[in-house]
């Protein structure tokens, strides 16, 4: 590690003071970069290096037993540094331009000479498609030699695209690197933001902070991470709320960073689930050159595997979507309403996008593991015979395709991560989607039941009013008769006669209503949906059954 020691700014990361300063630095909003170079014995850290220092560092080879981690934040502010990395590892001009493009501005385009060379290589690239990966690649985006549409020339932008399509991802291989680009989602509470201030489009995206990340594994044991600025456009010092969000956004990076220092050994023993075997698995400094370090591949894996965010978003028992669905279920039983459908629809859209994000992670893993398998080049030789003249060219093409390989330990961990994504993340999301669909049907059924209950209540009230009318109608007619001014009836009836007639008529009316209610099955407290015909048929069957039982009893006696 003598090459790194000659550069200014590098300090012993195993020193407690340096460790604590570094841990605080990576959580600052204005932090630009850091370089961490380590082996089993020592670790050196430098922060906020300028482009000249990083260029000089890249010219220093990394020994096989050592690992170098270069991390950049806000790449649009460090274009010279990105250019130095692109020049050293052979990134294409378009990839370099996309990596350092300003948020909200178009990416840097290639020159005419670069485009002409690319057009000359297109036929050979097409013939190589039989064994090249079909993963998404920033290289395959449309070039400026094609006549762009008016909308494309105005709207095409990398950050705008990844902000619209959260599940967009990119996997790219070069002669000296493996590059992965993806959207990471940090579990940040956004409920404090006014819903009216959010666009309807963003309300349909999962809750959390989306950030684009480039993760690059190079052939010289170097890992490069390039992270989108979470607060681009914000001027001045960060607010306390932004600092709190930054802790959540960089939680996984900080955990990996802290694991690479020997100062943090006590924490590993205290909480073994956070223990990452990156530096402990390194070969000794005096090891043989054949003992290739697994640390770069493991570091690449652990930076990609932000399992804490996944656990917080979907796998936790009380995660946000399960909680929202549970609250909506309780509200439905209390007061079913059509407005719940809109909330369920929004949750369904968020879950759909979240599912596609994790599917993109699984796709990235599949593409990475697919390229780790040995390829039978004999099956694709006939596709290259027009462009490859001898066996050396064929061997060179094969080597170019597989210049960067993962260690066996990293491959096993990527396979395990893919299984966890399928079983836990995607399984939990699918359960929430199924529950959301069930709640939609439940809400409609509860609304129908509520309406049926209201209709039944209204029908009962109507029947009650009709019964009251029937009850007092004969009495009203009798009273009208007694109040009629007829000479022959004057003095013929007394008050006793009136009340006696009133009692008799009221008794007959009540008896009629009871008999009618029994026959029509419309007595209060009983269902009202059986017709009089059905009621008569039921009573007839009961009467016939009673007679049959009587005959059977008589025969036995």
Of 127-136, 246-255, 400-409, 457-466, the one with minimum mean pLDDT is: 127-136
Looking at per-residue confidence, does 196 or 164 come out higher? 164
As a whole number, the mean pLDDT across the chain is 77
Tell me what pLDDT residue 534 has: 64
152-170 pLDDT tens trace? 444 568 888 888 899 999 9
Closest CA to 98 of 214, 185, 211: 214
pLDDT band per the 50, 70, 90 thresholds, residue 233: low
Q: Which residues contact 259 (CB under 8 A, 6 or more apart)?
A: 268, 274, 275, 276, 278, 279
- Name which of 421, 413, 418, 406 is nearest 277 in CA terms: 413
Q: Pick from 464, 467, 463, 471: which is nearest to 507 by CA?
A: 471
Beta-bridge mates of residue 180: 171, 215
- Sheet containing strand 67-73, edge to edge, reads 11-12, 43-47, 33-38, 67-73, 222-227, 209-218, 177-186, 169-173
The pLDDT of residue 524 is: 57
Torsion from C-alpha of 404, 406, 408, 410, nearest 10 degrees? 170
**pLDDT tens for residues 251-268?**
999 999 988 988 866 666
- Residue 485's pLDDT is what? 77
Domain ranges of the chain: 2-263+271-283+292-446, 484-556
Residue 248, pLDDT above cutoff 80: yes
pTM: 0.72
Judge whether residue 125 has pLDDT over 90. Answer: no
Do β-strands 67-73 and 222-227 pair in parallel, antiparallel, or remain unpaired?
A: parallel
């Amino acid at each position: 590690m003598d090459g790194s020691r000659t550069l200014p700014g590098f300090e012993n990361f195993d020193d407690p003071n340096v460790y604590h300063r570094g841990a605080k630095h990576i959580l600052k909003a204005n932090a630009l970069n850091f370089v961490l170079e380590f082996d089993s014995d020592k670790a050196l850290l430098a922060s906020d290096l300028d482009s000249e220092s990083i260029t000089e560092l890249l010219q220093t080879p990394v020994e096989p037993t050592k690992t170098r981690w270069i991390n950049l934040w806000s790449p649009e502010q460090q274009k010279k540094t990105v250019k130095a990395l692109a020049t050293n590892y052979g990134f294409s001009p378009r990839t370099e331009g996309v990596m350092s493009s300003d948020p909200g501005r178009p990416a840097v385009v290639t020159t005419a000479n670069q485009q002409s060379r690319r057009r000359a290589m297109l036929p050979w690239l097409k013939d190589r498609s039989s064994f090249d990966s079909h993963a998404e690649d920033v290289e395959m985006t449309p070039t400026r030699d094609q006549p762009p549409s008016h909308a494309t020339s105005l709207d095409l932008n990398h950050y705008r695209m990844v902000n619209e399509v959260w599940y967009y991802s990119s996997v790219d291989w070069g002669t000296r690197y493996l590059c992965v680009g993806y959207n990471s989602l940090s579990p940040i509470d956004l409920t404090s933001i006014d819903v009216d201030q959010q666009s309807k489009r963003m309300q349909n995206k999962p809750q959390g902070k989306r950030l684009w990340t480039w993760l690059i594994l190079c052939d010289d044991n170097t890992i490069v991470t390039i992270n989108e600025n979470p607060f681009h456009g914000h001027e001045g010092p960060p607010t306390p709320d932004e600092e709190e969000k930054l802790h959540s956004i960089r939680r996984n990076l900080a955990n990996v960073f802290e694991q690479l220092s020997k100062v943090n050994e006590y924490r590993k023993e205290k909480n073994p689930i956070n223990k990452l075997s990156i530096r402990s698995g390194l070969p000794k400094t005096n090891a043989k050159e054949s003992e290739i370090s697994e640390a770069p591949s493991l570091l690449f894996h652990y930076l990609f595997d932000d399992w804490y965010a996944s656990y917080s978003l979907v796998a936790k028992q009380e995660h946000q979507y399960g909680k929202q669905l549970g609250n909506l279920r309780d509200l439905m039983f209390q007061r079913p309403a059509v407005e719940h459908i809109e909330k369920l629809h929004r949750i369904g859209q968020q879950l759909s996008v979240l599912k596609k994000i994790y599917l993109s992670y699984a796709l990235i893993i599949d593409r990475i593991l697919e390229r780790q398998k040995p390829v039978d080049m004999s099956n694709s030789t006939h596709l290259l015979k027009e462009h490859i003249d001898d066996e050396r060219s064929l061997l060179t093409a094969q080597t170019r395709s597989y210049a960067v390989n993962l260690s066996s330990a990293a491959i096993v961990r990527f396979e395990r991560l893919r299984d966890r994504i399928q079983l836990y993340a995607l399984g939990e999301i699918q359960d929430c989607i199924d529950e959301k669909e069930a709640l939609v049907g439940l809400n409609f059924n509860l609304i129908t039941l509520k309406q049926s209950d209201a209709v039944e209540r209204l029908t009962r009230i109507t029947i009650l009013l009709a019964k009251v009318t029937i009850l007092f109608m004969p009495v009203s007619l009798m009273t009208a008769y007694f109040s009629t001014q007829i000479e022959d009836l004057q003095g013929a009836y007394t008050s006793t006669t009136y009340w006696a007639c009133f009692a008799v008529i009221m008794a007959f009316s009540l008896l009629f209503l009871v008999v009618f209610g029994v026959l029509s099955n419309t007595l209060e407290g009983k269902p009202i949906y059986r017709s009089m015909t059905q009621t008569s048929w039921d009573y007839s069957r009961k009467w016939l059954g009673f007679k049959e039982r009587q005959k059977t009893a008589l025969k036995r006696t």
